[in-house]
Amino acid sequence: MSLKLKGVAAAPGIAIAPLVRFHSDMDFVPTRPVGEHEIPRESARLTEAITAASKSILFLRKELETSISAQEVKIYDAQLALLHDETFKSDMLSVIEKDQVNAEVALQQVVDRYEKVFEDMEDVLMRERAADVRDVGRQVMAALMAKERSVYIADGQDYIFAAEEFLPSDAGIVDREHLCGIVTARGGKYTHGAILARSLGIPALAAVEAVLTKIESGTPVILDGESGQLIANPDDEDYDVYRRRKAEQEETDRRVFEVRFLPSKTADGEEVRLLANVEGTRDLGQIENNLVHGIGLFRTEFAFMERRQFPTEDEQASMYQRAIEWAGDKVVTFRTLDIGGDKPLLYFRTPEERNPVLGWRGLRISLDWPDLFYTQIRAILRASAGGHARILLPMVTSVSELRRCREVLDEILSDMKSSGEPHDTEIELGAMIEVPALAHVLDLVLPIVDFLSVGTNDLVQYLLAVDRDNPRVADLYSPYHPAVLRLLHQIAEQAAAFGKPVSICGEIAGDHYFTPLLLGLGFRELSMAPVFLPRVKLIARTISAERCRELVAEALRMSEARAIRMLAKEEANKIWSEFLQGE
């Protein structure tokens, strides 16, 4: 009898193979007291282990350079940075000296403490970094114990890797030639293990809690990396359905690649502007410039988070200039600093808050720290002299905030004009629609701004009062909810009435099932992670704007999110089918 388990879809694709369970062999930590005369020896052991772990990571990095993108290779650079962080090392040496314990115990204590710091963060991206700390600790522990980690093999047969988690270092000790899929009991779609799986093209599921308790090694399984489903002991019907889907998916991927540079227009000729979301200039090297109309969301805070102190105006201007040079005559939309709450800076302490996601963050910090805001705006304006830049304000709650920002921008523009500093005198100022309240006062907002960008991740979360990363209520989080659809409809209509452009920059922009709905609602600018661009372009090119409007009219009459999603999914699947048949 087949068993179906649900998890988080971490990497797309379908895998059909036996499941093989793997367990870490680094769980035992030797514990012993250390005399004062032994402290130098234990400290030296720790230093040697860090050096050995560094060499191991460097070797794996070099091995994977030709298999994954340059961006994913930086995962290992981040691990190396942690290993060579003086604070990390000194914290462990301090435990050895003060508690008089062996290096293994000190390592475990410090790693546990660092893990907890990340796990307590609200932002899912930052929480997932706890796994990286764990992985680094595991590698140093292996070096301390002079123990070779077991290589994960399946006797030369195709297999699906199943374990508590998949960490970046695991990529070096699995039989990648026969690895068909990955399923883990913990983790999520934003862990570095999941990112590596996507880069390597390996379907993956995460947070399948029962996978290690209910499925034995050797059990045949089907892994669906799109729906988040794992089927153990599938029946003949399951095999038939998924073998057909797997073949269709492979053909679709090939055909999608072929059309990626064709014009981005609907079947009846309406232009759709597709833009990319990036976390910094390093992401630009992974984007085919001809595939996009520009950068719809440049998250400036990540450059701040990677530093040990606030970047200077010159440093910021240089970074922004590189992005503008890459874009040429295309737009680059710089979102101003969105820190606080779920994105802390190690060098900028914010007060503890009971609900930091609703607390002192984003634009609220920028307005309370005007020097910080002033410096960033000046840096963007200096860079804007070389191309087309836009300024986007995050977490806007009130019209008064927008007026203050407009005043700051006008003041800086006046100063730069007086001093003769080159800049774009017509630079555009936009607001992110993330707080539902702002969507209901757009008639007051639109006269102040030049464009809008809808951050649907937070907007949906706040509108539905659902933490999308809480597994107990995650099913209630749905951008297909009728209330979400109606609010998006309202935003698009009001922006059109004022003649102001409006884009979508949340996850639904990259959801090809949602594409017909967004086009039908009137959105013509979609900004997304680059990996989703080709499929969204294919959907947009294969459906007419008129058909999209018909779908939205039907969806707006529906009362259930599930029914709306089914409507959208059936339309997208019809498009795939017709496309594959060459119609």
Strands 220-224 and 204-206, by their bridges, are unpaired
Asked whether residue 345 carries a pLDDT value surpassing 90, the answer given is no
Task: Look at residue 261 and tell me if it is in a domain.
Answer: no
Strands 525-528 and 388-393: unpaired
Q: How confident is the model at residue 504 (pLDDT cuts 50, 70, 90)?
A: very high
Contacts of 147 (CB under 8 A, 6+ apart): 25, 26
CATH of the domain at 41: 1.10.274.10
pLDDT beyond 90 at 114: no
Annotation marks residue 293 as catalytic: no
> Is residue 407 included in any domain, yes or no?
yes
Q: What is the mean pLDDT of residues 355-381?
A: 83
Mean pLDDT for the stretch of residues 476-488 = 93
Higher pLDDT, residue 243 or 472:
243
Does residue 60 sit in the same domain as residue 135?
yes
Is residue 428 within 8 A of residue 448, CB to CB? The reply is: no
Catalytic residue among 180, 405, 481, 505: 505
Same domain? 157 vs 116:
no
Check: CB of residue 101 under 8 Å from CB of residue 34.
yes
Q: Please say if 23 is a catalytic residue.
A: no
Task: Give the pLDDT band of residue 556 (cuts 50, 70, 90).
Answer: very high
Average pLDDT over residues 113-123: 76
Lowest mean pLDDT of 233-237, 337-341, 454-458, name the range.
337-341
CA pair distance 526, 227, nearest whole angstrom: 23
The size of the chain, in residues, is: 583
**Residue 132: predicted pLDDT:** 81
Distance CA 346, CA 118 (A): 12
Q: Does 414 share its domain with 391?
A: yes
Nearest to 431 by CA among 411, 447, 413, 445: 445
Asked whether residue 243 is assigned to any structural domain, the reply reads no
Taking all residues of the chain, what is their mean pLDDT, rounded to a whole number? 86
Does residue 210 belong to any structural domain of this protein? yes
CA angle 262, 479, 405 (to 5 degrees): 85
CA distance 37 to 55: 29
> Does the residue 473 lie in any domain?
yes
Across 115-119, 239-243, 488-492, 521-525, least confident range = 115-119
Domain shared by 357 and 479, yes or no = no
What CATH code is carried by the domain that includes residue 580? 3.20.20.60
Percent of the chain with pLDDT over 70: 89
Domain end point (choices 430, 454, 487): 430
pLDDT of residue 20: 92
Task: Specify the CATH number for the domain of residue 13.
Answer: 3.50.30.10
Does the pLDDT value for residue 339 go beyond 70? Answer: no
Instruction: List, for residues 294-320, the tens digit of each pLDDT value.
Output: 999 998 887 776 666 788 999 999 999
- Answer yes or no: is pLDDT of 74 > 70: yes
Residues 293, 410: one domain?
yes
Are residues 451 and 364 part of one domain?
no
Instruction: Specify whether 221 is located in the same domain as 168.
Output: yes
Residues 195, 221: one domain?
Answer: yes
Residue 257, domain member (yes or no): no
Using the 3D structure, point to which of 129, 144, 159 is the last residue of a domain.
144
Is 31 within the bounds of a domain? no
- The residue annotated as part of the active site, out of 192, 293, 481, 512, is 192
Q: Which of 18-22, 86-90, 93-97, 531-535 has the lowest mean pLDDT?
A: 531-535
Per the CB < 8 A criterion, the answer to whether 423 and 388 are in contact is no
Average confidence (pLDDT) over 54-82:
78
Interval 3-28: pLDDT, tens:
999 888 888 889 999 999 887 655 66
pLDDT of 182 over the 50 cut: yes
Residue 291: per-residue pLDDT: 84
Domain end among 381, 398, 430: 430
Q: How confident is the model at residue 554 (pLDDT cuts 50, 70, 90)?
A: very high
Q: Provide the domain count of the chain.
A: 4
Same domain assignment for residues 131 and 174: no
449 with 421, same domain: the answer is: no
pLDDT (tens digit per residue) in 534-543? 888 988 998 9
What's the DSSP call for residue 38? G
| CA distance linking residue 43 with residue 38, whole number of Å | 9
What integer pLDDT is reported at residue 500 of this predicted model? 97
Distance, CA of 179 to CA of 224 (rounded, Å)? 15
Per-residue pLDDT at 144:
87
Name which of 82-96, 135-149, 519-533 the model is least confident about.
135-149
- Confidence band for 583, pLDDT divided at 50, 70 and 90: very low
Q: Are residues 305 and 404 both part of a single domain?
A: yes
In a shared domain, residues 418 and 316: yes
| DSSP state for residue 175 in the 8-state scheme | -
Residue 199 lies in a domain: yes
For residue 285 the two structure tokens come to 């090297």
Report the range of poorest mean pLDDT among 93-102, 285-294, 315-324.
Answer: 285-294
The answer, yes or no, to whether residue 434 has pLDDT greater than 50, is: yes
Helical pair 456-464 and 482-497, crossing angle rounded to 10 deg: 130
Q: Which domain holds residue 114?
A: 36-144
Of 114, 93, 85, the closest CA to residue 42 belongs to: 93
- Residue 368 and residue 350: Cα distance in Å, rounded? 12
